[in-house]
Structure 1
Amino acid sequence: MRQIPNFVQSLQQLIASPSISSTQESWDQGNSDIINILATWFETLGFDINIQPVPGTRNKFNLLAKLGSGEGGLLLAGHSDTVPFDENRWQSDPLKVLSKEDKFYGLGTCDMKGFFAFILQACEHIKKQDLKKPLYILATADEETTMAGARYFSENQFVKPDAAIIGEPTNLVPVIMHKGHMSHRIKVQGKSGHSSTPEFGVNAIEIMSEVITALLQLKQTLSLNFQNESFDVPSPTLNLGAISGGDNANRICGQCALDLDMRALPGMADSELIQLLAECLAPLAEKYPGRITFDELHPSSPSFEQAKESELATLSEHVSGHQCCAVNYATEAPFIQQLGCQTIVMGPGSIAQAHQPNEFLAFSEITKTQHMLEKMINHYCY
C-alpha cells in the first residue's frame, strides 16, 4: 500500500507546486500539478476522485474527492491557487517551506494550501465503512482572481452536503458574514486636440473630475444610509483604485479611465449597487451624451451570511472556542452556500499573512486545526 506524506512533507510538496492566479497572462499558471498531487493522496486513502476542467480558464481544474456514500455529510473546501509574489521582498524562497522560529514560511502556507495538508492528516485513519455520511474534499481554481472554480462548481450542483467549511485563514475564528466585491471601469471619451485651442477639443480628464465628484457623493450616501455594525467597517465601501488618461501636457486629453471597487453588505444585491452607480452617473451621462460608459472589470462576488442560530455556527463556536464574526474581505462562501448547505469560513493562519512577503503558518495552529477537523468530521459523517 502506498504511503501518504506526513504533515511537513505534504506542506512542502504543495508549496513547491506553483499555481499562481493572475489577471496578467504572464503571471497566470495552470493548477494541474497540484490537483494531481491532491488526487493521488486522497485516492490512496480510498476517496473517489473527480477532476473537473473549469471553463473559461487557462488550464485550470477543480478536484472533488468523496469518501463514503449517502446524502448530506461534510464538505471541506479550499482554493488551490496563490497570488503572484515579488521574490526580492521575501527573505527565503517562496516556493520552499522554511521552518524557522516556530513558523512554516512559504507562499500559500496559510492562504491556503496548508489547509489541504491538515485535511490529509485528519483523513489518514478514516475507514470508509465506518462513515454514515460522506466526506467531501473540494479544491478549486482561480479564487484569487475570478473565483471561476467555485462559480462552476456551484452552478453544476455536483453535491449537496449538510455543512461546508472553507479553510481560509481566520485564526480558526468562524466567519459567518462577509461583504461582496465588484469592480468596474468608468471610461470617458473626449476629443483630443492642441492645448492652445481648447474650444476645438473635449477634455476627458475634466469630465472625469466631475465623475469623481459624483462618486465621492455616492460614497458618502452609502456610508450614511447602509450600516451593519457586525463589521469593523460597517458601511459598504467604494474605492477609487486606478486612473489613466492623456498622453502629453500640451494635448487635450481624449480618453480617461477610472477603475473602482465596491463592497456590498450582506442583504444588498449586486444589482442594487450597480443601480446606485448608474443613478449617480446618469446626470453626467445626460450632460455629456455618449461620452461616459462603465463596464464590469471582473465577475462580481456576492456578499455572504450564514445564520448565527444555525447548527454549524453554534458547533463551530463550541469547537473553536471563538465567537462567530464578520469580515470585510470576500471568499468562495456564497458560491458554496448555493449548494444548499450551511456554510462557514474557518481555517488556520492569519489573514494578515495572506498576500504578504514571508507568508507563514505558525506551529501553534497545528494541534488546534487537527482537533477542529476531527470534531467536525465526527459530527457530520459518523
Structure 2
Amino acid sequence: MTTRLEQVWHEIDPDRLKKNLIDMIDIYSPSGKEEDIQLFLEEQLRATGTDVRRQVVDEEERFNLITTMGSDSPDLYLVGHVDTVPAWDIDEYAAVEEWGVIRGLGSADMKGGCAAMVEAWTALATLPEDQRPSLGLLLVVGEEENGDGSARFLEECCPRSVIIGEPTALLPAFDHYGYMEVTLITQGRRIHSSLPELGHNAIESMLRVLLQIERSTAFRQQATKLVYSIREMSSSRAGFVVPDRCEAMIDLHLSPDLSPVTVRTIIEKTLEQARSSIKGLDLEVVFNFEAGGYQLAPEDNTINILEEIYPRLNLPLNLVPFRSHSDGNLFFQAGSKPLILGPGSLETAHTADEQTSFAEVEDAARIYAALALG
C-alpha cells in the first residue's frame, strides 16, 4: 500500500482542495435546496473520469450522487452530506479564510469532510484502473432534517463499511451516541392578561414541567450518559392575553450503552409525576424520533492503518464517541459499520462562528485515501 499511498498523496492538490471547499461553502444548500451544490459536485466528479449516478430522493431536483471505482462491488463507501442548517444571516453565510482557518456555513458540518472526500477520490482516480481500490463515494441530501438521502440509498445498497465525514477534529469515532427528539405540549385557558388569576398560563405550566424533568432523580442518575437540551419553545400569540398553548422541543443524546426504550420509560414516569404534582396541568407528549447508539469493535486492519498514518501526519490517535446524531445511526441500523471521522468540530457546528482548519481538511483527504487503499 505504501507505494500506492505515496503516489496518491502526491496527487492531492491543496490549492484545488481549498478552492473547491470555498466554492462549496459559497453555494447555499440548506436541507431541501441541495440541487446547486450537487450540480457543482457532479461536475467535479465527472472530471475524474468515473461514472456518476444521480439517485432521486423525492423529486428530480433532490438527488444523491453515487460513484464507484475498482473491479468489485465496494465494501467501503465514503459518505458525506451536502446540506446544511439554514443560514443565521443570509448575507453572511459565505466562506472567509483567515490564518489557515476557513469560516462559513457548513465549513465543519460537513462541507469540509465532503471536500476532503472529493479530493481523495480525485487523487485515487489517477491510479491505473487495475490498481484502484474497490470504493464508493456517496454524497447525500437531507441529513440535517430527516436523513432521507441516506435512507433512500440504503433502500438499494448496504455496504459493509462506511466512513462518514462528520466533524470529529479527525479523532476516529467507532462509538456513536443515540438520539431522541421529544415534543411537549401544554394547554391552558386564555384570558385577558390583566386577569391571569382567571385563566391558566400554558407557559407557566411548561416551565414547571421542564424544571421537574431537569430535577428528576432519574435524569440525575443518568447525567453522565444523557445529554438533555431544550431546543425550542413557543406559545400561542394572540395579543394581550394569557397564552393557552405552549410547545417545547427537547433533544436527548444518549450514550451508546443507553437505549431509547430506557429513556422513554424515564420520561414517561417523570411526566406522570408532573401531572400529579402540577395543578391543572394539561400535558401531551410526542416522541418524534429515536435512534439507538452503537459501539463498534474497530477492525484490526483499520486500526493498523490509522496507527501507521496518524504519526506521519503528526496527529494524535485517540478514539472518541460521536456525541451527536448523524446518518451513522441509519447505516448501523441497516447493518453497516460506520466510522465517523472528519475535519472540524461540533463546538462550532450549527453556529454563526462555524469554522474548520484547512490543515485538518487536507489531512482528512490523506486519511480517507489511506483507508480506501487499506
Any conservation in 1 of the 2:177–2:256 contact (CA below 8 Å)? yes
| Structure 2 gap ranges (5+) | 1-12, 311-315
Change (3 A) 1:221 1:73: same
**Cα distance in 1 between the residues matched to 2:138 and 2:338:** 14
Change (3 A) 1:253 1:313: same
Change (3 A) 1:318 1:270: farther
**Cα distance in 2 between the residues matched to 1:210 and 1:190:** 13
Any conservation in 2 of the 1:140–1:149 contact (CA below 8 Å)? yes
The answer as to 2:173 corresponding to 1:175 is yes
Q: 1:281 aligns to what?
A: 271
**Cα distance in 2 between the residues matched to 1:360 and 1:245:** 34
Q: 2:8 aligns to what?
A: none
Q: Counterpart amino acid of 1:165? A: I
**Cα distance in 2 between the residues matched to 1:253 and 1:103:** 46
**Cα distance in 1 between the residues matched to 2:74 and 2:26:** 34
Q: 2:258 aligns to what?
A: 268
Which SS does the other structure have where 1:126 is aligned? coil
Change (3 A) 1:368 1:210: closer
**Cα distance in 2 between the residues matched to 1:241 and 1:365:** 30
Q: Counterpart amino acid of 1:221? A: A
**Cα distance in 1 between the residues matched to 2:22 and 2:88:** 20
Change (3 A) 1:89 1:355: farther
Change (3 A) 1:66 1:72: closer
Q: 2:100 aligns to what?
A: 102
Q: 2:5 aligns to what?
A: none
Q: Which moved more, 1:189-198 or 1:323-332?
A: 189-198
Offset at residue 136 of structure 1 (A): 0.6
The one of 344, 347, 357 equivalent to 2:352 is 357
Offset at residue 277 of structure 1 (A): 1.6
Normalization by structure 1: what TM-score?
0.78
Q: Counterpart amino acid of 2:295? A: E
Give CA deviations for 1:286-312 in whole Å, capped at 9, x if unaligned: 788993211245x34432322246643
Q: Counterpart amino acid of 2:33? A: G
The CA RMSD over aligned residues, in Å, is 3.4
Residue identity (%): 24
Which SS does the other structure have where 1:7 is aligned? helix
Normalization by structure 2: what TM-score?
0.80
Any conservation in 2 of the 1:223–1:235 contact (CA below 8 Å)? no
Which SS does the other structure have where 1:377 is aligned? helix
Q: Counterpart amino acid of 1:235? A: K
The answer as to 2:77 corresponding to 1:75 is yes
The answer as to 2:48 corresponding to 1:45 is yes
| Structure 1 gap ranges (5+) | 22-28, 228-233
Which SS does the other structure have where 1:295 is aligned? strand
Which SS does the other structure have where 2:23 is aligned? helix
**Cα distance in 2 between the residues matched to 1:242 and 1:356:** 15
Any conservation in 2 of the 1:313–1:344 contact (CA below 8 Å)? no
Offset at residue 340 of structure 1 (A): 2.9
Q: 1:25 aligns to what?
A: none
**Cα distance in 2 between the residues matched to 1:330 and 1:251:** 38
Which SS does the other structure have where 2:105 is aligned? coil
Give CA deviations for 1:269-292 in whole Å, capped at 9, x if unaligned: 323322322222234557889932
The answer as to 2:23 corresponding to 1:13 is yes
**Cα distance in 2 between the residues matched to 1:222 and 1:130:** 54
Offset at residue 79 of structure 1 (A): 0.7
Any conservation in 1 of the 2:112–2:361 contact (CA below 8 Å)? no
State how many pairs are aligned.
Answer: 352
Change (3 A) 1:15 1:237: closer
Q: 1:325 aligns to what?
A: 320
Q: 1:187 aligns to what?
A: 185
Give CA deviations for 1:169-208 in whole Å, capped at 9, x if unaligned: 2221101223222222211222334578778654434543
Q: 2:3 aligns to what?
A: none
Change (3 A) 1:253 1:12: closer
